[in-house]
Amino acid sequence: MVKPHFHVSSVTSFLCYLLVSSFSVNSLVSLPFPRPDQIELLLAFKNEFPILKCNFGERPDSEPKTKSWTSKDVKSFHGVIFDNETGVVMELNLFGACLSGSLNANSSLFRLHHLRYLDLSFNYFDSFSFLPEFGKLTNLEILHLSNLGLAGEIPSSIISLNRLWHLTLSGNELTGSFAPLLNLSKLSSLFLSDNLFSGNFPCSILTMPFLSTLDLRHNHLTDSLEIMNCSSSSKLEWLDLRNNRLSGRIIEPLSKLTHLKLLGLSFQNTTDPINFVSLGFESLEILDLSGNSISKLNTSFPNLKKLALNNCSISEFPTFIKTLQKLEVLEISNNRLRGEVPRWLWNMSSLNLLELSHNFLNSFEGSPKMITNSSVKALESRSNGFQGPRLEFMLASNNSFTGNIPLWLCNQSYLRVLDLSHNNFSGSIPGCLIKSVGYMDLKNNNLIGRLPEILNKSGSLTTLDVSHNQITGKLPRSLTNCKNLEVLKVEGNRIADTFPFWLKDLPNLKVIVLRSNKFHGPIYFPQHPLSFPQLRMVDISRNQFTGSLPHDYFVNWSIPLISISQEEREPQYMVYNYSYAFYPSMFLRNKGIIMELEKILLTYTSIDFSENKFGGQIPESIGLLKSLIVLNLSNNDFTGHIPSSWANLTRLESLDLSRNQLSGKIPQELATLSFLEYINVSHNKLTGQIPQATQFGGQPKSSFEGNLNLCGLPLEKSCFGDKAPSTPEAQEPESSEQEQVVNWKAAAMGYGPGVLFGLAIGQVFYSYKPVLFYKLFRF
């Protein structure tokens, strides 16, 4: 029988390996990231621009990124990305970073040799030439230098940037030759718009092997394109030459570019009419010929999605448009079109936007129903002479319309639905607009001024949404004329007014959203008892409402809030028109997040009084609102106890009482609320045990933190046993240090025997199972 024994040499080797491995791991972990020299260069660059000039009126997205840079916190380097392996600066995004001053040739920027991405666009450097030192950044792949005031010629040193595949120099004052760019063989996208380049079109650029996008609009390129003798193998897909001074024939020479998807040729200096007969361009998706003379367009563009023919002196609708099966946008404004808008336009299945303004049109061919059933969602027809059928639905949301809301809409006496949301309309809302309109959605624009008075007493308006604009003043009291009003949303404006007690006179009002304005004062007066017969959802959060609420404040509120409605077999939503299904929508803070209700269930109920200055005790009468689903009273100064009567809120799913001055215990009765999925009572003065029910135990600790003496799950503080010191400061520093020493001693006492035991087991394996030991511990 072989006796197990230890080989001292084996044990020694094993321990040495552990020591060396531990040192190696520690060395790897302690490698500097990012590299200190890179931090020094960034801080030196920051110090070159001590003055940060942010023009938020011109650039709302400006951000003084370098202001926060500090060597103590790597995360403070906004706009900087370090390479994970080497610790060097790989990307530097200083777009709109408010830099002001001079960028010199000896700048620390040009010592960041590992840069692959650099964006200095939209800063406020002193006017300077295109510095040759940019050629030192030979690893650059993407370079953005737009709107910097660069003047003069492109330096020849740019040929050193042979890895560059994207270059943007738009919005400067560059002149001279394009020759330095020709050696950038990997270049794929080149943006040179809004400069001062002149002379012939740079045909040689089209021979660059990978170039797919070329933007030269708004320059001073002249002469004819007929002298072009470019390679027909060009991979160019995007060519924008708009607003130059090209002359002669401009279409035929470009017909060799068979891969083009976008071609912009508007507003040239040519006197030759454009003739599109029998030319290629079968890949073309966007074509802009505005401001040119058109002779013939009898050709097919099977993939064309956008066609712009503004200011082309066209006197009749080109019939070839009928064949454009994929056309989505047609712009044919400022022409000489007369008479009727042809019926076949409404039959184009893909057409979404139609611009017809500034012509001599007077009617629409076809019935109003045919027009409203078409795919056209946005129709621009200002400055015409329309006298024919009127629009019933005007749907133009999610576009880029600018300027004032067109006044011709006031003449649409049949208009029932007006949706201009998510555009860039400015100016005030025309007072003549609200006549027969029943559904008006103007949210997410740049509208200013006061809401107009509702002079029409027909009561047709059911939905008014002007959220997220810049509306000021007060709510017009004439809203009381709108007896059929169901949804009123004015959130995200600058309305300064007191609480609209007079809205209680509207018998059908279901939704009130006043969030994020400048409403102020109390929401309770004994002479103004509130009774909203049909109110289901009210959001007055993020205002400056003050005062306390009596215990019976909610006694006379709406029947839908007090009584539990019967469940429908199918969900019923708030809707304006069942035939065309126009549903009001809203954003709601529910369960700790902002969520969008694209459709509002008739059975959905919520109250949000958060982020105001309410004080006093929470009204007991909230317990009467049996159908309430969402209740948010957070960020106020409510005091007193949480009412136990809230056990009656059997439909409640979300309860937020955080950041108040509430005291006492959380009522055990709330444990019976089986639908409660979210509760937040953090940062109050609550005490005692958290109700031990599933809906409470499933919440995160953050929902209960910041209270005096709450205990029980999900908090770590137990309600039983020895009480821990109330504050960490009560403990002596020496005792803390002694405790650490004791802990280390205990760890050492356990560590020694453990190592010896492990070595013993290892030796046994080594003696009896050498092959297994080798497989498990081979190095």
**Domain-located, residue 545:** yes
pLDDT at 695 over 50: yes
- Domain termination site, one of 721, 739, 761: 721
User: What mean pLDDT is predicted for residues 469-476?
Assistant: 94
Q: Residue 500 corresponds to which tokens in the numbers above?
A: 């609209």
DSSP summary character for residue 731: S
**Domain-located, residue 76:** no
**3-class DSSP string for 32-44:** CCCCHHHHHHHHH
Burial of residue 30, with CB atoms counted within 10 A of its CB: 0-12 exposed, 13-18 middle, 19 or more buried:
exposed
Q: Are residues 519 and 383 in the same domain?
A: no
pLDDT at 272 over 60: yes
Do residues 122 and 147 make contact, with C-beta atoms less than 8 angstroms apart?
A: yes
User: What mean pLDDT is predicted for residues 530-549?
Assistant: 91
DSSP 160-182: G-TT--EEE--SSEEES-SGGGT
pLDDT at 443 over 90: yes
- Nearest to 393, CA basis, from 574, 581, 572: 581
**Domain-located, residue 22:** no
Using one digit for the tens of pLDDT, what is the confidence trace for 736-763? Answer: 333 333 333 333 334 444 433 444 444 4
CATH code, domain carrying 557: 3.80.10.10
pLDDT given for residue 343 in this prediction? 87
Buried b (16+ CB within 10 A) or exposed e, 385-402: ebeebebbbbbbbebebe
**Domain-located, residue 330:** yes
**Domain-located, residue 658:** yes
pLDDT at 444 over 50: yes
Determine the residue type at 678: Y
The CA distance from 213 to 236, in Å, is 6
Of 681 and 11, more confident: 681
**Domain-located, residue 374:** yes
**Domain-located, residue 732:** no
- Domain termination site, one of 389, 418, 447: 389
Q: What are the C-alpha distances in Å from 208 to residues 241, 373, 645? A: 18, 48, 77
The CA distance from 639 to 641, in Å, is 7
Determine the residue type at 653: E
Percent of the chain surpassing pLDDT 90:
39
**Domain-located, residue 575:** yes
Determine the residue type at 117: Y
Phi-psi region of 591 (alpha: psi -120 to 50; beta: other; left: phi over 0): left
Q: Are strands 89-93 and 80-82 parallel, antiparallel or unpaired?
A: antiparallel
The residue range of the domain holding 526 is 512-583+616-721
Q: Are residues 539 and 684 in the same domain?
A: yes
pLDDT confidence of 458, banded at 50, 70, 90? Answer: low
pLDDT confidence of 353, banded at 50, 70, 90? Answer: confident
User: What mean pLDDT is predicted for residues 472-481?
Assistant: 90
The CA distance from 291 to 288, in Å, is 9
Most confident segment among 187-191, 203-207, 251-255, 317-321: 187-191
Q: pLDDT averaged over the chain?
A: 81
Of 140 and 758, more confident: 140
Q: Residue 119 corresponds to which tokens in the numbers above?
A: 């964006």
Least confident window among 20-34, 504-518, 660-674 = 20-34
Q: Across the beta sheet with 663-664, what order do the strands follow?
A: 663-664, 685-689, 709-711
The CA distance from 251 to 104, in Å, is 44
Do residues 471 and 568 make contact, with C-beta atoms less than 8 angstroms apart?
A: no
pLDDT given for residue 721 in this prediction? 54
Q: Are residues 658 and 526 in the same domain?
A: yes
Residue 763, Cβ neighbours under 10 Å: how many? 18
Burial of residue 524, with CB atoms counted within 10 A of its CB: 0-12 exposed, 13-18 middle, 19 or more buried:
middle
Peptide bond into 34 cis (omega under 30): yes
Do residues 582 and 596 make contact, with C-beta atoms less than 8 angstroms apart?
A: no
- Domain termination site, one of 721, 741, 757: 721
Q: Are residues 570 and 713 in the same domain?
A: yes
pLDDT at 110 over 80: yes
Domain total in the chain: 2
- Nearest to 554, CA basis, from 538, 541, 574, 542: 538
pLDDT confidence of 385, banded at 50, 70, 90? Answer: low
Q: Residue 108 corresponds to which tokens in the numbers above?
A: 């620390």
pLDDT confidence of 657, banded at 50, 70, 90? Answer: very high
Q: 3-class DSSP state for residue 438?
A: coil
What are the beta bridge partners of residue 616?
A: 638
Enumerate the H helices of 579-643 as residue ranges.
Answer: none
Determine the residue type at 138: T
Residue 211, Cβ neighbours under 10 Å: how many? 24
pTM: 0.52
Phi-psi region of 243 (alpha: psi -120 to 50; beta: other; left: phi over 0): left
pLDDT at 570 over 90: no
pLDDT at 774 over 80: no
Residue 772, Cβ neighbours under 10 Å: how many? 11
pLDDT given for residue 555 in this prediction? 86
pLDDT at 637 over 60: yes
